[in-house]
A and B are shown apart, each in its own frame.
Chain A
């Protein structure tokens, strides 16, 4: 039995696959932010009891959590001290010396996580080529340890310039600190967290990691104790921002890697579902109440990035490139001070929620527009748990329509169109703007509101196919359950692509290869389950942004470099519309991603009969002036191979699928709904 758990800010989702290929069990319950493990344990107990499952049968418990992110936002994280070179204690606070926005004099960056009096300078300085300019003063480090011990911090981070290439001084200082501090104080170095050049981002990543160590560590200790008490024999695995899982041991050391795991787990879920269904190229759209996340997967592999932002601070961690925009079911339609019409980014959220929830909301939302258009159920949602007031949606939209001097139905359609345009723009920026044609991808939609808007979004982008997984609302938990173990290592190169680079590249490859082998050994990944992918980040010499290119390290030095050179020029042409063959190309760093495939349960297969009829019909508006009586199906009753022609609506507890007239959909063996768009959209 395999279990995936996703702890979000509002809900804790649990997915259980008993492994017999028949059925998934799903559970959703409110999160308990003060003690997040409580909802996890309660939910596990409930789902096991309800389905007569044995805790002792659990082979894996995979866990995605935002515990760390929430702690940072609320500043309830560990107390951190920092050791750095003389003259640089303010670097962490100076950051990039910019304001968050040019035109807002009243917005500031968040206060640094390490206050100035806990940023301690010691004599030490190396230059870019490793030359010792000022030797590390051991006695100063020991003195600093005394101050730190007195201040009672949870974690100390050592941050020296050029440590990405020359970590020796950081390592030495850390040793001295460890020898002089109680065992309860964790000592970290910036190069051990993410050894990449650009000091501020490296230091910031290390500091965030340090601030999370005690928070995530104590949470995981409590959770492990509780699951052990329940008799769960499996070790917990933790989701990372790059989709894969890590051991608890690793998570306690590098908690920052878990910080953006929520959206990544969804992408991981989509990745697995699409692979099983035999679909290679997908763009994911996860639309919830307040925002929509989009990501692109080419040949089943998500695009990854390293630069991210966490609670207002930059971090460098490998992560799926998930682009978020403020368009969700709760996004509010409003008229700006210039009289122009807008939808979002402000959201009615869960409270008061859309007007139709009748919980005090008065401003019309995207959900209200869908209710008015008959696209969403006008009497209840969430499987009957949420009563809906169709009349309130209509009233609210009529008020807005009056201000716009438009017909109410046109206004409702317009709200949906503008929300979709925001998502289209987000998808364009990860596809068209990077040289990918959306028409070569399927739109994989999940989240509560995704399936409702999929057709509008796909058609606008010229995409021909939409995939809706069986449980769109719980895909993150499912994604965690089915993810492999993974880790990334990086080495900074900063060498030109030229024959002299061969040695440096070979050295970096063998250095990272050794790290990967150690990791496979420490995580007990057997050889057949081991997989590695290598990439380099390259740029024209003196550019500042890199393009990431896959490389085959089996190739010999010379041809490896030639291959990098030509694929760089091509990638530059594709991304920016020009390239300069003949210009020197610089290798900035080498990265490797190692995967340890874990045994995965088969996804349940749907039965092939009997075929249900639609339960009922409702009047639904698809285009301006084109309203039709539309059959409404219950998704739980659909069977494998069932084909439905649009117009149709398919409802389930946490999502509604809208199939337009002229479009066709079919249910595949695994319960995915595959919508094929008609040529004209009519």
Chain B
């Protein structure tokens, strides 16, 4: 049976509607800050063979986990091993194709008239998945066993019967279990919603027609991606950069890429990248795939729908056991740091081919701050937040100040919400002046956010990147300022902390200051107009000293002004 283009569009519209509905329901009813406020969750529908057909609005890092999840369920249980009413749960990067343990995926097969027709799935980042450190994200862990509970693909529902035993086991292993149960409930409800909607869709259109439309939707994306790649200039592009450190033993960990564009196909080869590290910043296959696909999408076709078709013209090679393709049992909780650097090297490599599309390096980090302590009344709290920084400048425009970049786009928690819910106070939340790299177009400014634990000691863990190696500029643009963690005592003495501190005891009312990196500049600074510099100065974003040191025309402007005044008179 063939569906007409009209029917395909009607079906695509309906499938996308189901994904969006799951996405919103999960966001609004969840408890974890990561989901409700930072939208660190994703939803997708799959065809019966386990290929992603449509994905809701989502985190780039979840894309690849989605791509592999159902495949793994099918490999383990086989098509015949699945029953109507089953739901599968999984989070493990090695056996479940996840990217780190806090991302818990729940997948539900959709049956119609006894036949497997589709899958509905969602992934959500839980505030805690157990392990040795609150929030399950802190540095200092050296193997995945320390990072939390590992869940292979297993049944949470067996033919419609809820496995209380599985849930009890999970909840016993995580912190603040009541809240976590709320998140699992929200995920289950989102899948049930999808099951009801898919059932109605299959009723109306018939399984064959839906399956045919799924094929068309996937191959359309493959075709679209190929068309975009073929517009790239054929050739080989190389770049390398480093990750600051792993929080333990390794520093300046190198990531190298060699990209080959040939016709409508592209190959990413990470040969020459450093081996996996002891610390928890290792990226597994799913994360690497996600980073490469993110780059393709932002460079070639930001509006491209995401599904399995994107993979079709793409080959990704990386040595097993390297930091971008880590082998068991490497720790991977903070894999987003390395993921951001993969994006930097890919964009850096393709800069000569696509100068008007790439951006200079920005705050290539997923700077996070986690606080764990006890409220005045003795209740435990875990609070995690991530901070943005400067975005890299572009071919024709400055980089944005104080935003999340690339693979992360999570919102902050309103200060008024944070201070109401946690015994923490924000002392300041502002741009870091002079932190954007100079250039024809300047880089964006980093962020400073200071926290004060009010009247109690707290435990601080942090993940900082671009704290040692500054984000670079492009085509003559200057590098940005780096970030740092520090404590500030009441008499104003600042003490710098490690880049990835783990479980530091912080005395009551000692301020913790988080400062993130800015973005690199684009183009030669000499070419920036004096009026732009005057605006930078008037707004207080850059000091006279910085402008004098980086832009010769800033120094000359007074002399020019004098000259022109002389001419006028």
In Å, the complex CA distance between A184 and B20 comes to: 48
Contact A98 B409 (CB under 8 A): yes
Residues from chain B with Cβ under 8 Å of A576 in the complex: 25, 28-29, 186, 189
Across-interface contacts of A494 in B (CB, < 8 A): 420
- In the complex, whether B85 has a CB less than 8 A from a CB of chain A is no
Least CB distance from A453 to B in Å reads 15
B residues 1-44 near A (Cβ < 8 Å) are 4-6, 8-10, 12-14, 17, 20-21, 24-25, 27-31, 33, 36-37
Query: Which of A108, A115, A133, A411 has most chain B Cβ within 10 Å?
Result: A108
* Bound complex: CA A96 to CA B400 (Å): 13
Of the candidates B33, B220, B400, B454, the one whose C-beta lies within 8 Å of that of A99 is B400
Other-chain contact of B411, A96, A161, A411, A433 (Cβ < 8 Å)? A96
Given A103-B298, A543-B31, A418 and B9 touching (CB < 8 A)? yes
Q: Give Cα distance in the complex from A115 to B541, angstroms.
A: 11
Q: Are A417 and B10 touching (Cβ within 8 A)? A: yes
Question: Is the C-beta of B543 less than 8 angstroms from some C-beta in chain A?
Answer: no
A397: min CB distance to chain B, Å: 13
Q: B153-196 CB contact bits vs A (8 Å, 1 = yes)?
A: 00000000000000000000000001101100110111011000
Q: Note all chain B residues with C-beta closer than 8 A to A102.
A: 57, 59-60, 409
Complex Cα distance A543/B31, Å? 5
CB of B302, distance to nearest CB on chain A (Å): 4
Tell me the smallest distance from the CB of A342 to a CB of chain B, in Å. Answer: 7
Known: A117-B540, A428-B17. A94 touches B425 (CB 8 A): no
Q: Are B420 and A418 in contact (CB under 8 A)?
A: no
Interface presence of B430 (CB below 8 A):
yes
CA distance A201 to B416 in the complex (A): 11
B126 at the interface (CB under 8 A from A): no
Write the nearest CB–CB distance from A344 to chain B, whole angstroms. Answer: 11
- Would you call B404 an interface residue if the criterion is a C-beta within 8 Å of the partner chain's C-beta atoms? yes
Contact A577 to B416, CB < 8 A, known contacts A414-B6, A428-B17: no
B5 and A414 within 8 A (CB): yes
B403:A117 contact, CB within 8 angstroms? no
Instruction: Give the distance to chain A from B26, nearest Cβ to Cβ, in Å.
Output: 9
CB of A103 within 8 A of CB of B538, answer no
Q: Residue A90 contacts which of B223, B403, B430 (CB distance < 8 angstroms)?
A: B430
Majority secondary structure of chain B interface residues (helix, strand, loop or mixed): helix
Q: Which of A34-42, A333-341, A358-366, A497-505 contacts B (4 or more CB under 8 A)?
A: A333-341
Q: Does chain B have a CB within 8 A of A197? A: yes
Assess the A162–B302 pair: CB atoms within 8 A. no
CA distance in complex: A577, B13 (Å)? 23
Q: How far is the CA of A133 from the CA of B272 in the complex (A)?
A: 54
Give 1 or 0 for each of A521-546: 1 = CB within 8 Å of chain B CB.
00000000000000000001011110
Contact residue among A97, A162, A340, A540 (Cβ-Cβ distance under 8 Å from B402): A97
- Provide the bound-state CA to CA distance between A133 and B411, in Å: 27
- B221 contacts the other chain (Cβ, under 8 Å)? yes
Q: Determine whether the beta carbon of A540 is less than 8 Å from that of B182.
A: yes
Measured CB to CB, the closest approach of chain A to B112, in angstroms, equals 20
Is the Cβ of B414 less than 8 Å from the Cβ of A199?
yes
A543 in contact with B430 given A197-B417, A404-B5, A421-B13 (CB within 8 Å): no
Determine if B30 and A340 form an interchain contact, defined as CB atoms under 8 angstroms apart: no
In whole angstroms, how far apart are the Cα atoms of A576 and B220 in the complex?
Answer: 33
Question: How far, in Å, is B230 (CB) from chain A's closest CB?
Answer: 12
Per the bound structure, the CA–CA distance linking A575 and B28 in Å amounts to 10
Q: Which residue of B lies closest to A85 (CB)?
A: B428
Closest residue of chain A to B305, judged by CB? Answer: A338
The answer to whether B402 and A94 have CB atoms under 8 Å apart is: yes
Residues 375-422 of B at the A interface (beta carbon under 8 Å): 387-388, 391, 394, 397, 400-405, 409-412, 414-417, 419-421
Query: Which residues of the partner chain B approach A572 to less than 8 Å between Cβ atoms?
Result: 29
Q: Which of A331-353 contact B (CB under 8 A)?
A: 336-343
B227 within 8 A of A: yes
Q: In the assembly, what is the distance between CA of A99 and CA of B410, in Å?
A: 9
CB pair B21–A433 under 8 Å, yes or no, is: yes
A425 touches B (CB below 8 Å): yes
List the B residue with the shortest CB-CB distance to A103: B302
Contact with B along A321-338 (1 / 0, CB 8 A): 000000000000000111
Residue B240 CB within 8 A of the other chain: no
Near A by CB (< 8 A), chain B positions 274-328 give 294, 297-298, 301-304
The CA-CA distance from A104 to B216 in the complex, in Å, is 26
Q: Bound complex: CA of A154 vs CA of B407, how far in Å?
A: 41
A128 contacts chain B at the CB level, 8 A cutoff: yes
Do A580 and B185 touch (CB < 8 A)? Answer: yes
**A545 and B224 contact, CB distance less than 8 A:** no
Counting CB contacts under 8 A, is B532 at the interface?
Answer: no
> Shortest Cβ distance from A483 into chain B, in angstroms?
31
**Bound CA span A198–B24, Å:** 20
| Chain B neighbourhood of A117, CB < 8 A | 538-540
Contact A197-B429, Cβ < 8 Å, known A105-B394, A338-B221: no
Supposing A116-B539, A341-B9, A418-B10 touch, asked if A105 and B298 sit within 8 A by C-beta, the answer is yes
Roughly how many angstroms separate A201 CA and B430 CA in the complex, as a whole number?
17
A227 within 8 A of B: no
Bound form: Cα–Cα A575–B303 in Å: 30
Q: Once the chains bind, are A98 and B414 in contact (CB under 8 Å)?
A: no
Q: Do A340 and B182 form a contact, CB below 8 Å, given A97-B411, A98-B409?
A: no
Q: Does A635 contact B (CB under 8 A)?
A: no
CB distance from B477 to the nearest CB of A (A): 15
A128 vs B420: C-alpha distance in the bound complex, in angstroms? 6
**Is A313 among interface residues, defined by CB-CB distance under 8 A?**
no
A179-204: CB near B (< 8 Å → 1, else 0) gives 00000000000000000011111000
A133 near B13 (CB under 8 angstroms)? no
Most chain B CB inside 10 Å of its own CB: which residue of A162, A413, A421: A421
B467 within 8 A of A: no
Which B-chain residue is minimally distant from A545 (CB atoms)?
Answer: B28
- Choose one: A86, A88, A94, A410; the contact of B4 (CB below 8 Å): A410
Residues from chain A with Cβ under 8 Å of B21 in the complex: 429, 433
Given contacts A494-B420, A576-B186, contact A340 B60 (CB under 8 A): no
Q: Enumerate chain B residues within 8 angstroms of A97, measured Cβ to Cβ.
A: 387-388, 402-404, 411-412, 447
> What 1/0 flags go to A306-317 for Cβ under 8 Å of B?
000000000000
Given the complex of chains A and B, what is the CA–CA distance between A496 and B21 in angstroms?
A: 29
**Cβ contacts under 8 Å, A198 to chain B:** 414, 416-417
Chain B contacts for A433, CB-based, 8 A: 21, 24-25
Question: How long is the Cα–Cα vector from A201 to B417 in the complex, in angstroms?
Answer: 12
The answer to whether A91 touches B429, judged by C-beta atoms less than 8 angstroms apart, is: yes
Q: Which among B28, B59, B60, B357 has the highest number of chain A CB atoms within 10 Å?
A: B28
Q: Specify the chain A residue showing the minimal Cβ separation from B412.
A: A97
* 8 A Cβ contacts from A188-242 to B: 197-201
Distance in angstroms between the alpha carbons of A466 and B513 in the assembled complex: 60
Determine if B359 is an interface residue (Cβ-Cβ < 8 Å). yes
Map CB proximity to B onto A369-406 as digits: 1 under 8 Å, 0 otherwise: 00000000000000000000000000000000000101
Q: Is A583 part of the contact surface with B, judged by Cβ < 8 Å?
A: yes
Q: How far is the CA of A162 from the CA of B217 in the complex (A)?
A: 49
In the complex, which of the residues A127, A338, A404, A418 has the most CB atoms of chain B within 10 Å of its own CB atom? A338
> A340 near B220 (CB under 8 angstroms)?
yes
Bits for A547-590, please: 1 = Cβ < 8 Å to B, else 0: 00000000000000000000000001001111010010000000
Pick from A90, A115, A422, A578 the residue with the most CB of B within 10 Å. Answer: A90
Q: Is the CB of B425 within 8 A of A542?
A: no
| Chain B residues numbered 31-89 whose CB sits less than 8 Å from any CB in chain A | 31, 33, 36-37, 57, 59-60
A sample of 16 more A-B contacts (CB under 8 A), given A90-B431, A414-B9, A429-B20, is A87-B429, A94-B447, A97-B388, A97-B404, A99-B400, A99-B403, A101-B302, A338-B221, A340-B9, A406-B5, A542-B421, A545-B29, A575-B25, A575-B28, A578-B29, A578-B188
Closest 8 CB pairs of A and B: A87-B428, A414-B6, A338-B224, A338-B220, A577-B189, A544-B36, A576-B29, A341-B5
Q: List 10 A-B contacts (CB under 8 A).
A: A96-B412, A99-B400, A99-B409, A103-B298, A199-B416, A336-B224, A542-B421, A572-B29, A580-B182, A583-B182
